Amino acid sequence: QVQLVESGGGLVQAGGSLRLSCAASGRTFSTYHMGWFRQAPGKEREFVARIRGSTIYADSVKGRFTISRDNAKNTVYLHMNGLKPEDTAVYYCVADPSLSMVVRGTWTYWGQGTQVTVSS
């Protein structure tokens, strides 16, 4: 069983930066795929980024966002630079031990979400 708790969201002006954190329970953190999704009001949840050994990003955030992990702290981060109003959403941390589930988008474990609002 994995528990995920996000933090670091807030209000930022366009062009600014935020770093989101996700604290995960368990000693098997390093073996799990970790990632971030986001959902804006009235829109479907969309994939943002994921990491295990390597990293993968959605085209919309590539070059602006960086996902990283600190296995000693059981924590995954999403460093967001050059934020745009269209980045406004609730950001969810996700985890799953199975690549097949990750590819399907059916991640097993989800955090509660943290709000990111980018103003113009």
pLDDT number for residue 118: 98
b/e sequence 5-43, b meaning 16+ C-beta within 10 Å? ebebbeebeeeeebebbbbbeeeebeebbbbbbbeeeee
pLDDT higher than 90, residue 113: yes
pLDDT in tens, 55-74: 999 999 999 999 999 988 99
Helix, strand, coil percentages in the chain from 3-state DSSP, rounded to 5: 10, 50, 40
pLDDT in tens, 29-62: 788 999 999 999 999 999 999 999 899 999 999 9
pLDDT number for residue 28: 64
